[in-house]
Amino acid sequence: MQFKHLSLAALAAGASAQTMNLTAALTSSPDLTNLTSYVSLFPELLTQLSMATNVTILAPSNAAFAAFLNSSAGAAIKSNDTAAIQAILMYHVLNGTHPAASIMSTPAFIPTMLTNMMYTNVTGGQVVEAVTQGTNVEIYSGLLMNSTVTTPNVNFTGGVIHIINRVLTVPQNISFTATQAGLSAAAGALTRANLVNTLDSAKDVTVFAPNNAAFQAIGSATANLTMMELASILEYHVVNGTVGYSSTLRNGTMLTSMSGMNLTVTVSNGSVFVNSAKVVIPDVLVANGVVHVIDNVLNPNNTSAKPVATASTQSVAFPGATSARDNPLTSGVPSPTGSVGMAPTPAGGAGSRSSSSSGAAMPMKTGAIGAAALFAGAGVWLNN
Ligand SMILES: *[C@@H]1O[C@H](CO)[C@@H](O)[C@H](O)[C@H]1NC(C)=O
Ligand SMILES: *[C@@H]1O[C@H](CO)[C@@H](O)[C@H](O)[C@H]1NC(C)=O
Ligand SMILES: *[C@@H]1O[C@H](CO)[C@@H](O)[C@H](O)[C@H]1NC(C)=O
Ligand SMILES: *[C@@H]1O[C@H](CO)[C@@H](O)[C@H](O)[C@H]1NC(C)=O
Ligand SMILES: *[C@@H]1O[C@H](CO)[C@@H](O)[C@H](O)[C@H]1NC(C)=O
Ligand SMILES: *[C@@H]1O[C@H](CO)[C@@H](O)[C@H](O)[C@H]1NC(C)=O
Ligand SMILES: *[C@@H]1O[C@H](CO)[C@@H](O)[C@H](O)[C@H]1NC(C)=O
Ligand SMILES: *[C@@H]1O[C@H](CO)[C@@H](O)[C@H](O)[C@H]1NC(C)=O
Ligand SMILES: *[C@@H]1O[C@H](CO)[C@@H](O)[C@H](O)[C@H]1NC(C)=O
Ligand SMILES: *[C@@H]1O[C@H](CO)[C@@H](O)[C@H](O)[C@H]1NC(C)=O
Ligand SMILES: *[C@@H]1O[C@H](CO)[C@@H](O)[C@H](O)[C@H]1NC(C)=O
Ligand SMILES: *[C@@H]1O[C@H](CO)[C@@H](O)[C@H](O)[C@H]1NC(C)=O
């Protein structure tokens, strides 16, 4: 009698400690039925996922899935573009087991299983940004889209699942991202300097992208630049071979730009500067690295420009330059050509994030028209 009693207890204890396999974990959550039935259409993918160990799966809820299907990005799914579907799903699988408690208020950039070169040129896998904001765990993906973890820590044999409220956006190429973000002067300058393909096809880059107000402020200096001069200025804004997420940039870090000249990072009171330009929107993930939006155009002939960290705006790095009403660089902005997971027309809007002090040209709107709205304010002067 006693023996039987004991074994039942032991069995019960064993059962509750038993970790579910992936299928069981997905099926156990009523909020994942859409994802589950969708993934079941791809038995090979499901097998691959079931065998994965030490991963974190960001699983879109039913509502997230429905919103995604209704978005332009959902087109890949509707047209059964298997490579695109696989890319989107793999972007939701993070390398390593990351319980919610391990995600901090300092952003972490966690590699995913998205490694297909058709969709990313970030070595080691495209990343997501995971960060705790207030009581929420937020995941930032392409075009600064944020997804919130709604149910954390569903354990399964291969790691942990967090349920999220929006399908992640696979980071897009630099030119598409710049255009979507309303960085029309930067996008126009790249086109004019014939650097779009060079940049979009590079691997592992960090781009410091001046906002429109920054280009406007040196309008007199950009007015008559030759293509070569413009290209050398722009190449000074690109670091080839290093993806420098903001939380990895340290005070005094020297970065060698594509033009061969060095850039100096200053970190002061939580603000990040490159030379004398302040990073006003950090960590916009792109297909081949990261873009930081800055408030000043960098000058390769003025590599020693230093910020005045306490000032709300920095002086321009082009001595004597004055601002222009019109920006000649905005002509020829390319039409966006995205690949997959483009920003869904967001019902809930993109998250907003900026460094602490925002100048007049720093639009920090939330909730309207997605990433474009986040950046678009600085473009208003163009229509004057
Ligand atoms: C997962 O677990 C369920 C229930 O325990 C079981 O029926 C199923 O066969 C398992 N699947 C795999 C792939 O092991
Ligand atoms: C998605 O989930 C909702 C709620 O569970 C359900 O009503 C709907 O039929 C599901 N759709 C698909 C395509 O599975
Ligand atoms: C996509 O795949 C689903 C499921 O296999 C199928 O029902 C549907 O007809 C396919 N659609 C297209 C456009 O091929
Ligand atoms: C996961 O990351 C580790 C290093 O942290 C690396 O060795 C491993 O290859 C990665 N796994 C995959 C599947 O990318
Ligand atoms: C799980 O993955 C993380 C990140 O790649 C790695 O640091 C860790 O050592 C891995 N743990 C195990 C048990 O493989
Ligand atoms: C990655 O680089 C290759 C070769 O340069 C290029 O063909 C491919 O389009 C790039 N991928 C993306 C997503 O930009
Ligand atoms: C999930 O796994 C972690 C260890 O990885 C453990 O601390 C936690 O208690 C588990 N949660 C549940 C609900 O079993
Ligand atoms: C640029 O060129 C125009 C016409 O060639 C000229 O009028 C203007 O003064 C030049 N601007 C500068 C800053 O050199
Ligand atoms: C970036 O660096 C790699 C390796 O050093 C080189 O092959 C490539 O041409 C560089 N790309 C650009 C755009 O400078
Ligand atoms: C950052 O580095 C500069 C020199 O590059 C130094 O003057 C400054 O004190 C440093 N700031 C901090 C906070 O360490
Ligand atoms: C650029 O910085 C590196 C150190 O990161 C240094 O070795 C190199 O000499 C510097 N180049 C120039 C042109 O200052
Ligand atoms: C994105 O973040 C903002 C706040 O920063 C929040 O209001 C919004 O609900 C988040 N979006 C999603 C889809 O979770």
Query: Is the CB of residue 307 less than 8 Å from the CB of residue 273?
Result: yes
List, for residues 134-192, the tens digit of each pLDDT value. Answer: 999 999 999 999 999 999 999 999 999 999 999 999 999 999 999 999 999 999 999 99
Distances (CA, A) of 216 to 211, 213, 365, 382: 9, 5, 21, 9
Within 8 A by CB and 6+ apart from 80, the residues are none
Query: Which CATH code is given to the segment(s) 8-164?
Result: 2.30.180.10
Q: Which of 193, 214, 195, 175 lies closest to 297 in space, CA to CA?
A: 214
Measured distance CA(41)–CA(250) in Å, rounded: 46
Query: Is the CB of residue 219 less than 8 Å from the CB of residue 324?
Result: yes
Query: Is the CB of residue 55 less than 8 Å from the CB of residue 94?
Result: yes
Pairing state of beta strands 159-164 and 55-60?
parallel
Query: What's the pLDDT score for residue 153?
Result: 97
- Kindly list the domain boundaries of the chain, sorted by start residue: 8-164, 174-353
**Amino acid code (one letter) for 257:** S
Confidence class for position 327, pLDDT limits 50, 70, 90: low
Q: How far is the CA of 54 from the centre of ligand 5 (A)?
A: 6
Strands (E), 116-214: 127-133, 136-140, 146-156, 159-164, 205-210
DSSP state of 120: -
Q: How far is the CA of 114 from the centre of ligand 4 (A)?
A: 12
List, for residues 18-72, the tens digit of each pLDDT value. Answer: 789 999 999 999 999 999 988 888 888 899 899 999 999 999 999 999 999 888 8
Q: Which residue has the higher pLDDT, 369 or 75?
A: 75
Say yes or no: do domains 8-164 and 174-353 share a fold.
Answer: yes
Burial 257-290 (b: 16+ CB within 10 A, else e): bbbebebbbbbeeebbbbbbbbbbbbbbbbbbbb
Percent of the chain at pLDDT exceeding 70: 80
Residue 283: strand, helix, or coil: strand
* Ligand 2 within 6 A of CB of 33: yes
pLDDT at 295 over 80: yes
Please name the fold of domain 174-353: FAS1 domain (2.30.180)
**Pocket of ligand 8, candidates 220, 222, 224: which has the most ligand atoms within 8 Å of its Cβ, to mutate?**
224
